[in-house]
Structure 1
Amino acid sequence: MSEPKENRDSVFPSITRRSLLKAGSALVTLPFVMSGKSFAMQANAPETAQASGAAERVVQTCSTFDCGGKCDIRAHVADGVITRITTRPDSELDPQMPIMRACVRGRSYRKFVYHPDRLKYPMKRVGKRGEGKFERISWEEATTLIANNLQRITAQYGPACRFVHNNTATSGGTFSGDKMMRRLLNLTGGYLEYYHSVSMGNTAAATPYTYGAVASGNSLDTLAETKLVILWGHNPTETIFGHSNHYFQQMKQNGTRFIVVDPRYSDTVASLADEWIPLLPSTDNALMDAMMYVIVSENLHDKAFIERYTLGFDEASMPEGVPANESLVAYLMGDKDGQVKTPEWAEKITNVPAQTIRQLARDYANTKPAALIQGWGPQRHNCGERTARGSTLLATLTGNVGIKGGWAAGYGGCGNRKFAAGPEMPDNPVKESISIMNWVQAADDASKVTADAGLKGAETLNSNIRILFSLAGNYLANQNPDLHQAVKVLEDESKIEFIVASDLYMTPSARYADLLLPETSFMERWNIGETWGTASYLILSEKLIEPEFERRSDYDWQREVAAKLGIESQFSQGRTEQQWIEHIWEQTRLSMPDEHLPTFSELRVQRKHLFKSKPYVAFEDNIRDPQNHPFPTPSGKIEIFSQRLYDMHNPEIPALSHYVPAHEGPEDALAKQFPLQLITWKGKNRANSTQYANPWLQEVQVQKLWINPLDAQQRGIRQGDTVRIHNARGICQVPAEVTVRIMPGVVAMQAGAWWQPDAEGVDHGGCANVLSSARITPLAKGNSHQTMLVEVAKYASAV
């Protein structure tokens, strides 16, 4: 719907000549490589800086988005403007802890910060929720609205009606608006908390049922001598996952063999793989089962390791009181169900040839050591918990747990990572919590959120969600599974009474705000960057430029709200944002005396601290000395069979992780109507949906639907045709990319595109969340948005 001119002008007011020059000075040459050709964007920032005679300083910094690299960004600052971005020169490489060079995302941050579409002023909604109609107001009015609504709504419904949503755009730093919002709410009665990580919560919940602990990955420097790496649904080349690529490329050059198991021929396959094994999504466990059958039937398993460290391999090693034929061997040989888990059995399910399965199993079992590293994509299916545990069983059978060069699989996070202290958080008086997957139900009808659905700490919720804060998050009305279901609740103003959104841009989620606030970018505030994966360093993210227009950091306006609630001194403790960062750094120094962290003044010169920990192998002590270091499971052993899961009596989370056909998987009856499985991937040009608005990065990778030529031919689809992807939940319309890089029966789109519905509700942005399901996983009560059946048709526009 078009907006009246007065509203458009209030949202995007005229730009002064000075601000236009500043914005223009942020544009400089940025090379891109697309389809084998080199492109560049040229502007005059260096000339502008030189012409003005401004002294340039170069500052090493990092972003604090939900981006794993925390790569080395060198911001060139002159006259209060970022003129260009470079990165770490090769001469500064530290082989003991390689900080990443900036990727295409890092090199394009200036265009994201200096963009005319950034929000400029606080605004309140004047139309219906979702219309995107706002009018400019003052910060005094904005903070008064927040304070008054907090007091009114809390008095009426109690503190459990208050909710702070998932806010990943700032989760890469130790200090953020959503953390401080939670601090403010705890000081005024508390709020409804959520648990579960949308990124990796299913595997984090499942892995402890094998090992008793979540972190099951090694530091990557322990893989230097590994002869074989199987990357199972893992795509670090595009996701920029820690500094994996640095080590993997070194290993590749030194002769390590890489096999990638993935339905899509990703950039990781192109850059690393000696072999690509595509399989149908959600059938991972069938492939794993058949591999285990080959390993056991061909006597390739590590008998000594299994006998000493495990429980549940065969009938002789089962816990007392469990009926016969519940062991791994009994399952593989079909002793209970009559189905032997041969490669031929798995081929019919996975579409992986039986001989390929045999060779993969033999290669993994016979190569010593070998590392099976599972990504987080496979565990985002509704069978993801089983897939996560299945990989741990393979690692256990082959004796690759707790040894240098091996990998315990499962969650894969490294247990020796170190983090900054973070701001102190007062206790939350509200004890109940929900899965992040329950928030729509909690806003719609709190009685729907039961213990079976994921409620913790109470039998029932006392109130629906009535006030919601979305600070640097686009999950609300973009990344949320079954987007139409979520939006229906958001549009109903009798449900959530007051929504506050703070962001850099008018995102799809921001359009549903009652109060919309212009946030600062990471270049306009203070923070400490923290890494993902197996990286181990902290880096200062310093305020480099002053925010323009009326942009303010969340902490800045939260202090005003706290003052109007009478708790400012308790909330801020008299600290500015920079003083909080100094305080957090000092607390971090005190908590890590052996690391000899620099003082904050020294950090401002050094910019970063590398921990340079010794090589770390998960469960090494448990394997070296099981008597004194038993696994933290009930049995003290690696539990191939989990009594805890067995006692749940849930067929979807079997005690022995194995294949169970997935809802909306290839064996679902729904596949007759919607025969294609749609998956998404995290692309190189944005972190989730962050930076979608960056035009440079939109050129890096255009939003399309990947479809195999066989599937395209059956539907009369040619390269570049506009297609409609649809199921019972929604319709999405994008161009087709007809390519053999996706296997038959599967289609794929990059995740994180912004939802752009037309008047009929058809999405034109390529947002897969209009098609994804809100079904929760059985164990973690987590997300399964990767499991979705669709049909694709060529779009014929009306004449």
Structure 2
Amino acid sequence: MAINEAATLSRRTFVKGSLAGLALAGAAGSALYGCAPKNEEGAKDGGAAGATDEIVWSQCNVNCGGRCVFQWHVKDGKIAYMETDNTGEAEGLQARACLRGRSMRRWVNHPDRLTKPMKRVGKRGEGKFEEISWDEAIDTIAEKLKGVIEKYGNEAVYINYATGMYSATGKTTARLMNVLGGYLGSYADYSTNMMSVAMPYMYGEECTPYDSVYASSASEAEKSDLVLMFGNSPADTRMGGANAVWDFTKVREAGAKIYHIDYRLNETASGHPEEWIPIRTGTDAALVAALAHELIANDQVDLDFLHTYCVGFDEETMPESAKGQNKSYKDYVMGTGYDMVEKTPEWAAPITQIPAERIRSLAAELAAAKAPYIVQGWGPQRHTNGENTARAICLLPCLLGKIGLPGTNTGMREAEPSALVGGIPNGKNPVKASINVYQWLNAVDHGEQMTAKNAGVHGVDQLTTGIKFLWNYAGNCITNQHADINKVHEILQDETKCEFIVVTDTVMTDSAKYADILLPDAMRAEQLNMSTNGYSEFYLGVCVGGPAQEAPGECRPSYDVNAAIADKFGKKDDYTEGRTQEEWVQYLYEEGAKADGDMPSWDDIQKQGLYKRELEPVVGMKDFRDDPAKNPLKTPSGKIEIYSEELDKLAAEWELEDGDAITPIPSFLPGYEGYGSVTEEFPLYCSGFHYKSRTHSSFGFIEELNQACRQQLWINPLDAESRGIAHGDMCAVTSPVGEIRIEAKVTPRIVPGTIGIPQGAWHQAAMDGDRVDTGGCVNTLTTYRPSPLAKGNGVHSIIAQVAKA
């Protein structure tokens, strides 16, 4: 069923029950967030009074994954307010924006918008700039880029990870660098780093956290009788009608029993009628081992499945290289493996803080479930032991033999849809070397020392140079969203290491303060924009619209800026292929429509703005389950590898830091600053979590959202009382690397011994003074310690202390 502008305008009932955080809309009032205003009679403008408004379609382009739909109402050339999607049937395909998305108008029209190119006049990070012309900015960037390439080679140029903007034509710096000879590449991402690297060893090299082959649609959970969620809260992370929070609302209404395993009673858990199972942060693999013990001890594992589809469960399924050595997962669990410790519920209870009897009863419920839907968010793997955590959670459905069947899932996050149109192609990168996205700071500091075996370098044995030229477009991962902000600051102060930094953004983020040249970007509302549906599995779509208003000051689209830089190298035609950005949008749309066969024409999509259609659900790994010989996995054995010979080889060959380990089976590893690492000075575990008022750090400067959802430290009453801390007190939180100030939220919704800090708050500290962060940014506290296998951002592993400030 395709939906267009002529479809019914009835709205679906969306937020129900106690998804209370999202119900904030009624309390805050629509005018606060820039939604349709009310006239004197109380009706929304947009009827007769608003009929003369120009309506311009667009989408929320930040990285929550929703891509929810906007209708900009434009008066006198300026965005006056917005409505969201109102096309589709009552319970149909409405891609309606959440409150943070509905505040986008405040971002677009914010008085703090960057409006002119600037160059740094103070120290990096000091935030002191002076305005310059576009000619000077382009000339300076081109000159510095040429100098770095001539002196060090293209491997010295790096494009930093950034997710502040998604659009078909948004990210073109990689294309620019490829026509100029390439750049140091990167792999994985901050969201799914450990899972991205670890899961191919278990499910095959084509397995990614962003597909619909190795995971089931969320709607499959509607057929489940038991949904087990590990650290997965779409009501916090994936709000909006075009996102997974809507999917799980339907699951709840279908009657499935839903359990949430998390160190917090998160917003999703609070909206379901069953049970929150509190767990100490970072100990999920220990829980899985204890559940496995009960399933094995009670003959409740599916041996036929494990022997047919898997390698490494027991001695019978071990590869020849590991036979007779007690290296199987069963040996590990039953106490005959390498550590000779039986992983009973009594063993797991003090580690996880889950009572042994609850572990036993949960194992029994899993064994009795006809269609268990086991799913993990991306929080559990974002620890220093995250690679093993991700694999361990995915092991549970394997033990039960519940993979590839209706109503089940593979342990991965919910399946994500494909897209109807693509983006401007980047072309081929001539530089072979690449690093994990989290390793860029090490590559700045000592890149020449980084190798395949000590730093996970791909493509070459060793880097030839450190990063000397850094691009940063629409991202806050130089500091705010990275780790150990104080360490980043120290390294970037040495301009002999990274010699030049270019930042393009819309407002002065903390990362933007480190720019040598700072460029003002035009927002998607200020240019012709095209984007597709996001993560939600219930529809496919594409939205085309804009500009809704002119960009302020001298803001320019990044595509045009990169074209001007390419021109300085005599490569403009190679970069543009003779197309303007607007012509690329049309070209990409028409190519997608041609391949699809059912999409509207270019003329029609320009008129209607939005195209949607239903998407059929998928069952993860169904083809493999149906015929493993015909559809083998892309692992060495063609099977699910509970034991990986490749990981065993890496463990023997790689140079790991003290305390780090790579294991061939998904055993429980405490991890750096994980379980057992607390001290007298830092007696609490600490973890970050995604927050309703921000998408990572996007929207972090919107005053109204910060008022509605204050930045607060979650602390259990037991931990607060012993420290003399009351609800609302200002607290000092310290870790081995930094200190912040943050208001206390004293609540039993977090396990004792662990504190939680919403991530994404904007760093605010006197970096030439005491460096105490009064903004409450969790990455002031995170140690920069890449994980053992992925070399990724295990930033939810923190030890800390809290005191009343």
Q: Could you tell me the TM-score, scaled by structure 2's length?
A: 0.90
Map of 2:326 onto structure 1: 325
Which letter does structure 2 place at the counterpart of 1:127?
G
Q: Please give the residue correspondences for 1:502-517 in structure 2 after superposition, counting only pairs within 5 Å.
A: 502-517=504-519
SS in 1 for 2:679: helix
Q: Per the alignment, do residues 535 and 70 of structure 1 end up closer, same or farther by CA in structure 2, a change over 3 Å counting?
A: farther
Change in Cα spacing, 1:103 to 1:281, as seen in structure 2 (3 Å) is: same
Q: Is the 8 A contact 1:528 1:541 kept in 2?
A: yes
Aligned to 1:360: 362
Q: Distance in 1 between matches of 2:235 and 2:22?
A: 16
Which aligned pairs between 1:90-101 and structure 2 lie closer than 5 A? 92-93=89-90, 95=92, 98-101=93-96
The match for 2:261 is: 261
Per mean C-alpha deviation after superposition, the further-off stretch among 709-718 and 637-646 is 637-646
Query: Which stretch shifts more, 301-310 or 357-366?
Result: 301-310
Residue 180 (structure 1) shift: 1.5
User: Matched residues in 2 for 1:431 and 1:588: separation?
Assistant: 30
Residue type of the partner of 2:556? Answer: R
| CA distance in structure 1 between the aligned counterparts of 2:370 and 2:23, rounded to whole angstroms | 38
Deviations 1:389-442 (A, max 9, x none): 10111011112211110000135544x523532212232221111111221121
More off after superposition, 210-219 vs 47-56 = 47-56
Which residue is equivalent to 1:788?
Answer: 798
- Residue 439 of structure 1 aligns to which amino acid in structure 2? W
Q: Structure 2: how far apart are the matches of 1:535 and 1:338?
A: 47
Distance of 2:461 and 2:315 partners within structure 1: 39
Give 1:672 shift.
3.4
Residue 61 of structure 1 contacts residue 539 of structure 1 at CA under 8 Å; is this kept in 2? no
Specify the alignment match of 1:75 in structure 2.
72
Q: In 1, are the aligned partners of 2:293 and 2:333 still within 8 Å (CA)?
A: yes
Q: Which residue of 1 aligns with 2:729?
A: 721
1:111 maps to 2:103: no
**In the alignment, structure 1 residue 425 sits paired with structure 2 residue 426:** yes
Where does structure 1 lack aligned partners over 5 or more consecutive residues?
Answer: 1-30
Q: How far did residue 153 of structure 1 move?
A: 2.3
Q: Which residue number in structure 1 is paired with residue 438 of structure 2?
A: 437
Residue 301 and residue 185 in structure 1: after superposition, are their counterparts in 2 closer, same or farther (change >3 A)? Answer: same
Name the counterpart of 2:9.
none
Mapped contact 1:420–1:538 kept (Cα < 8 A): no
Contact 2:310 2:642 (8 Å CA) reproduced: yes
- Counterpart for residue 22 of structure 1: none
**In structure 2, distance between residues paired with 1:90 and 1:278:** 40
Provide the rounded CA distance (Å) in 1 between the counterparts of 2:633 and 2:466.
41
1:21 corresponds to: none
Q: Which amino acid aligns with 2:130?
A: E
**Residue 54 of structure 2 is aligned to residue 57 of structure 1:** yes
Q: Is the 8 A contact 2:421 2:542 kept in 1?
A: no
How far apart are the structure 2 equivalents of 1:50 and 1:36? 22
Task: For residue 791 of structure 1, give the secondary structure of its aligned residue in structure 2.
Answer: strand
Question: Partners in 2 of 1:690 and 1:133 — Cα distance?
Answer: 22
Match of 1:768 among 775, 778, 785: 778
Cα distance in 2 between the residues matched to 1:65 and 1:234: 20
Report if aligned partners of 1:127, 1:134 keep a CA contact under 8 Å in 2: yes
Contact 1:207–1:410 (Cα < 8 Å) also in 2 = no
Match of 1:5 in 2: none
Go from structure 1 to structure 2 and tell me whether the alpha carbon gap of 1:152 and 1:93 turns closer, same or farther (over 3 Å shift): farther
- Match status 1:275 vs 2:275: yes
The CA distance in 2 between the partners of 1:182 and 1:135, in whole Å, is 28
Q: Could you report, residue by residue, the CA deviation over 1:41-75 in whole angstroms, capped at 9, with x for unpaired residues?
A: 56997779999999203333212211211112222
Question: Does structure 1 residue 567 correspond to structure 2 residue 575?
Answer: no
Q: CA deviation at 1:273?
A: 4.9
Hey, what's the Cα distance between the residues in 2 that align with 1:293 and 1:238?
33
* 1:124 aligned residue (112, 119, 122): 119
Q: Deviations over 1:364-409 (max 9, x none)?
A: 2211101011000010001111011101110111122111100001
Structural mapping, 1:129-144, within 5 Å: 129-144=124-139
RMSD value, Cα:
2.4
Alpha-carbon shift at residue 586 of structure 1 (Å): 2.3
Write the distance in 2 (CA, Å) between the matches of 1:508 and 1:470: 12
Query: Which position in structure 2 is the counterpart of 1:187?
Result: 179
CA displacement at 1:505 relative to structure 2: 0.6
Distance 2:647 2:495 in 1: 41
Map of 2:228 onto structure 1: 230
Q: Matches of 1:426 and 1:636 in 2, distance apart? A: 32
Amino acid at match of 1:540: C
What is aligned with 1:174?
168
SS of 2:651's partner is coil
CA contact (8 A) 1:55 1:79 kept: no
The answer as to whether partners of 1:504 and 1:519 remain within 8 angstroms in 2 is: yes
Is the contact between residue 46 and residue 83 of structure 1 (CA under 8 Å) also seen in structure 2? no
Residues 575-599 of structure 1 show CA distances to partners (whole Å, capped at 9, x for unaligned) of 2211111111223234x34x52332
Note the alpha carbon deviations across 1:549-596, whole angstroms, 9 max, x for none. Answer: 111111122222222222212211222211111111223234x34x52
Q: For 1:165, which of 152, 160, 164 is the aligned residue?
A: 160
Segment of structure 1 superposing worse, 608-617 or 703-712 = 608-617
The amino acid that maps onto 1:655 is: P
In the alignment, structure 1 residue 552 sits paired with structure 2 residue 552: no
The one of 715, 720, 725 equivalent to 1:712 is 720
Give, in whole Å, the separation in 2 of the partners of 1:640 and 1:445.
36
Spell out, residue by residue over 1:696-739, the C-alpha distance to the aligned partner (whole angstroms, 9 max, x if none).
21122111111111001111111111111112200011111111
Check conservation: 1:478, 1:508, Cα contact below 8 A: yes
Q: Note if contact 2:537-2:615 (Cα within 8 Å) is conserved in structure 1.
A: no
Structure 2 gap segments, 5+ residues each: 1-20, 40-44, 653-659
User: Offset of 1:510 from its aligned partner?
Assistant: 0.8
Residue 647 of structure 1 corresponds to which residue in structure 2?
A: 649
CA 1:538/1:492 → structure 2, altered by over 3 Å: closer, same or farther? farther
* Correspondence 1:486 to 2:488: yes
The answer to whether the 8 Å contact 2:181/2:431 transfers is yes
- Tell me the percent identity: 36
CA contact (8 A) 2:72 2:82 kept: yes
Q: Structure 2 CA distance, aligned partners of 1:673 and 1:183?
A: 49
What is the CA–CA distance in structure 1 between the aligned matches of 2:236 and 2:22, rounded to whole Å?
Answer: 15
2:384 match: 382
When structure 1 is superposed on structure 2, of 452-461 and 286-295 the one drifting more is 452-461
1:348 aligns with 2:350: yes
**Structure 1 CA distance for aligned equivalents of residues 479 and 583 of structure 2:** 34
Deviation at 1:90, TM superposition (A): 7.7
Question: Does the 8 Å contact 1:54/1:79 carry over to 2?
Answer: no
Q: What amino acid is the match of 2:310?
A: T
Which residue identity does 1:664 align to in structure 2?
A: E
Alpha-carbon spacing, 1:50–1:353, altered in 2? closer, same or farther (3 Å): closer
Matched, 1:202 2:211: no
1:496 aligns with 2:493: no
After superposition, residues 25-36 of structure 1 pair within 5 angstroms as none
Correspondence 1:385-400 to 2 at 5 A: 385-400=387-402
Change (3 A) 1:377 1:506: same
Change in 2 beyond 3 A, CA 1:779/1:32: closer
Distance change (3 Å), C-alpha of 1:585 and 1:36: closer
Q: Secondary structure at the match of 2:320?
A: coil
1:542 is aligned, of 535, 545, 558, to 545
The change in CA–CA distance for 1:304 and 1:45 in structure 2 (over 3 A counts) is closer
Distance 2:319 2:117 in 1: 62
CA distance in structure 1 between the aligned counterparts of 2:371 and 2:47, rounded to whole angstroms: 56
1:510-541 Cα offsets, whole Å, 9 max, x none, are 11111111111121123332312535523224
